[in-house]
Amino acid sequence: MNMLCRHAVCLMLAIASSVPAATEKDFSMTMESIATMQEEGWLSDAEAAAKAALESDELSKQQRHALEYEVERTARIRRDYRVTEKSVIERLSDEQRGIADFKPEEIAEWERESRLDYKVIDGEKRYMNSTVGSLFFRYPDLRERRLRKSKSTWQPFLLEHVRDVKRETAAKQTVFGEPRRFEIDFRISVDDDVVSPGETVRCWMPFPQQFAVQQGVELLSSSPTPVWLNRADYPMRSIHFEAPANDDGGAAFKASWTMTTLPRHFEIDPNKVESEPFSDPSASYFAEEKAPHVVFTQELRELEAMIAGDETNPVKKARLYYDWMSNNIKYTYAREYSTLRNISMYVFENGYGDCGQLALMYITLCRIGGIPARWQSGWVIYPQDTNLHDWCEIYIEPYGWIPVDVNYGIFARTIFDSITEAEANELQDFFFGGLDAYRMIVNRDHGFPHYPPKETFRSDDVDFQRGELEAEGRNIYFKDFGYNLDVTFLDDETE
């Protein structure tokens, strides 16, 4: 934002603040101005404007909450952009972790090509924390120059497992493969000096759903004793603890459980696919907009129409969206979801996103096309790696809910490098209508409220995988706690 535009925005705020802020028009103008300043990197001004507006006695409860969140959002954006240009150059110049023949003047070229994620924050250029790592995901030419290369053991394992699942489902003539059993140990630790000693810390820990594809969920032990455990099918399931902080101002929560998962593989005949009415009454709910991240904007409507063309068969349209995203959108590390105002549009405008952002854009395209689609997320728990992960399910009559992992479709086209191209294509085909067994499913909707209700802002208001905490009437953000998931594989072949 140039100085003239910045002055105009501040003038708008001054006008808005000079009249009762409770009027909808004035409040909307204030919020739009704050959003503009955040987007343009004038974070100190955005924070000051939100705090000034909060001085009004005319605010409704909802308006006050919205402004308080803009103060919080501003702080989170600042935290996501902390890396200096000097640090980027040092990282790329590193003889072990950088890229071959790197020249500092390449930075300016990459910025012109929009390869680097950066903002000018209050007049100083700052890069997103993960901008260097994202370069290797998004740009094959830089991945080839990467000095530290290692062959993945995860990709060949996944390929063999997927082939096992296809053999199992074919032999049984069902969509479910053989069960796999796991024991999970999950720990959350609040850092020392985050809260006052003795102050009550409230913790929501991710806990697995129990339904057709994830069974035998049994809590084995926990510390402290949980206050609440959500019902087995709660859309964003958690186990809830409350405990006093220790003498160092920290806290620790842990739980262990068992679960059994069933992989899925649907062989769908497009000629058998039907449109509405849906046999599952919940399907209609998952065909609607859900602001702020699943909104049928004009841009996304036009994109859906371009991709689908004259196709009317629901499963063929869903595959067209999947293939288009696999070939045209790139995977990247991401900003915190809570800092973004419309994640689907963020992916559309930038051409990249992480697993959850990709899933939200895919869900939006499907819903625009009349195909119910819903969020599914938790963790992947492969023997070689455990990590947070998001994907989705779409509803296809008469097959019901089928899994789609568009992130893995994109990986197959752009990232998988330890298997052949034909093998990567095999994986891409599988993850439209198939899902491996190495998933711990926690969520079956996005942005769903926690129970017991959280009184403060959520650290992640879209997803739930790392945990949520609060104390002393304030949220404990990700920077102030750690989390860890360990897996014991209870089947002989994975030990």
**In the predicted model, is pLDDT for residue 277 greater than 90?**
no
Return the percentage of the chain with pLDDT > 90, whole number: 92
**In the predicted model, is pLDDT for residue 18 greater than 50?**
no
Q: Which pLDDT does position 152 carry in this prediction?
A: 85
182 and 120, same structural domain? no
3-state secondary structure of 379: strand
End residue of a domain, out of 110, 145, 180: 145
283 and 259, same structural domain? yes
Look at the block and give the residue holding tokens 């955005």.
Answer: 46
149, 293, 376, 395, 404 from 373: Cα distances, Å:
37, 13, 10, 6, 9
156 and 122, same structural domain? no
Q: What is the pLDDT of residues 167-225, one digit of tens each?
A: 999 999 999 999 999 999 999 999 999 999 999 999 999 999 999 999 999 999 999 99
In total, how many domains does the chain have?
3
Do 463 and 337 contact (CB within 8 A), yes or no?
yes
Q: Which pLDDT does position 313 carry in this prediction?
A: 97
* Structural domain for 131, as ranges: 85-145
Q: Which pLDDT does position 493 carry in this prediction?
A: 52
End residue of a domain, out of 59, 80, 101: 80
35 and 163, same structural domain? no
Question: Is residue 374 within a helix (H) or strand (E), and if so which, with residue range?
Answer: strand 373-382
End residue of a domain, out of 124, 145, 166: 145
Residue 469: HSE in the Cβ half-sphere, 13 Å Cα cutoff: 31
168 and 123, same structural domain? no
pTM of the model: 0.95
3-state secondary structure of 170: helix
For the residues 424-443, what does the mean pLDDT come to? 98
65 and 96, same structural domain? no
27 and 162, same structural domain? no
197 and 122, same structural domain? no
Q: Residue 204's beta-bridge partner residues?
A: 240, 468
**In the predicted model, is pLDDT for residue 283 greater than 80?**
yes
Q: What is the pLDDT of residues 359-409, one digit of tens each?
A: 999 999 999 999 999 999 999 999 999 999 999 999 999 999 999 999 999
74 and 30, same structural domain? yes
For the residues 40-47, what does the mean pLDDT come to? 97
490 and 435, same structural domain? yes
pLDDT category at 6 given cuts 50, 70, 90 is low
155 and 126, same structural domain? no
Round to the nearest angstrom and report the end-to-end CA distance of the chain.
56
Q: What are phi and psi of 489, to 5 degrees?
A: -90, 115
